[in-house]
Amino acid sequence: MWSARVEPELDSFYRGATLVQDYRPWAVQLQAQGHTVHTSDASFEGFDEVWVFPGRQKQAVLRQIARGLLAASSEGTVRITLHNRGGASRYEKTLRKLCPDLQSTSKHKCRVMTVRRSDVQDEALLHQWVEDGAPRFLEELDAWTQPGAFSWDRFDKGSQVLREALPVDQLKGTVVDLGAGLGLLSRPLAGRSKVRRLHLVEADHRALNACRRNVEAWGHPELQATFHWLDVTTEPLPIKSADVVVMNPPFHEGDKASPAIGQAFIRAAAGVLRTKGQLWMVANARLPYERVLEDHFFKVRKVSESRGFKVLVAYK
């Protein structure tokens, strides 16, 4: 079951199934229901029935579908469920290039496409889709990345604004990057010998894998870097007495904008910092973070505002 999420109606069906989920908040919810969850790093083959609930981003979706097909036995069947708003009819057209005979049904604004493994007509295209969505080094970013990860092919504008404002020369000791993505915010810090420890915390396992490769390449030889696959909003962070936190917190949960996620990130940052430790964060200028910062920090200051983003520093 690719990209499985907690669904009460599917719970009994999930029992005994192999569940794959790279997004930690959903993996944790499945684990809480007693399921074992695998990340997509593992290899899967020989399944009679495979269900795929693809996410977003074209190369990532096609890779999930292709890996689902490769996980099926030669007699196996793969069912792919896509929401109409997620481009179901467009993906059906694309999938027909691989399996002209696929069956498709629509209900509840979703489409379920059923493909028998033996109906795949173009094995080369199948492998091409796996390759197109695989981890890769992108020259433009000068970093490892993977389609589907946050801002996978460009440096996010908000993160750029924060990086320009960070007093890199003054930051030292133990640094924590919450929602680290590919690690691009931490890049200038990883190379500085005054930064001794770096904790990179990220919910998307694909992004965290890329981040590990990046920080291992960028870090100075004595840097102790630790990579945590964790949900910052619900799980305790195994980090204490940090000197600095940097973050560009997410403000969307699925399709919905929600400042609650950023507010939870702020509480998590306050929880890992030592007294007088500093939080450096960037946010969309309209988002209401000041009150929660003032509740958890001794002093809060707006450092800059540009291109629709504000940079805030808060002292514990």
Q: Which residues lie near ligand SAM (CB under 6 A)?
A: 25, 150-151, 156, 159, 179-181, 184-185, 201-204, 207, 231-233, 248, 250
Q: How far is CA 269 from the centre of its chain?
A: 19
Taking the least distance from each CB to ligand SAM, the nearer of 98 and 201 is: 201
Nearest distance from C-beta of residue 212 to ligand SAM, angstroms:
14
Taking the least distance from each CB to ligand SAM, the nearer of 70 and 198 is: 198
Nearest distance from C-beta of residue 111 to ligand SAM, angstroms:
27
Taking the least distance from each CB to ligand SAM, the nearer of 95 and 180 is: 180
Nearest distance from C-beta of residue 165 to ligand SAM, angstroms:
13
Would you state the torsion angle of the CA atoms of residues 172, 176, 179, 182, taken in this order, to the nearest 10 degrees? 60
Report the distance separating Cα 115 and Cα 120, nearest Å: 8
Question: Quick one: tokens of 107?
Answer: 């209900």
Nearest distance from C-beta of residue 180 to ligand SAM, angstroms:
5
173-178: strand order across its sheet: 224-229, 195-202, 173-178, 242-247, 273-284, 309-315, 299-306
Nearest distance from C-beta of residue 192 to ligand SAM, angstroms:
18
Output phi, psi for 172, to 5 deg.
-155, 175
Taking the least distance from each CB to ligand SAM, the nearer of 25 and 86 is: 25
Question: Quick one: tokens of 55?
Answer: 């996410």
Taking the least distance from each CB to ligand SAM, the nearer of 134 and 260 is: 260
Q: Answer yes or no: are the C-beta atoms of 43 and 24 closer than 8 Å.
A: no
Taking the least distance from each CB to ligand SAM, the nearer of 232 and 313 is: 232
Please compute, for residue 140, the number of CA atoms within 13 A of its CA located in the half-sphere on the CB side: 7
Nearest distance from C-beta of residue 243 to ligand SAM, angstroms:
18
Q: Answer yes or no: are the C-beta atoms of 57 and 147 closer than 8 Å.
A: yes
Q: Answer yes or no: are the C-beta atoms of 42 and 103 closer than 8 Å.
A: no
Report the distance separating Cα 29 and Cα 133, nearest Å: 26
The β-bridge relationship of strands 136-138 and 143-145 is antiparallel
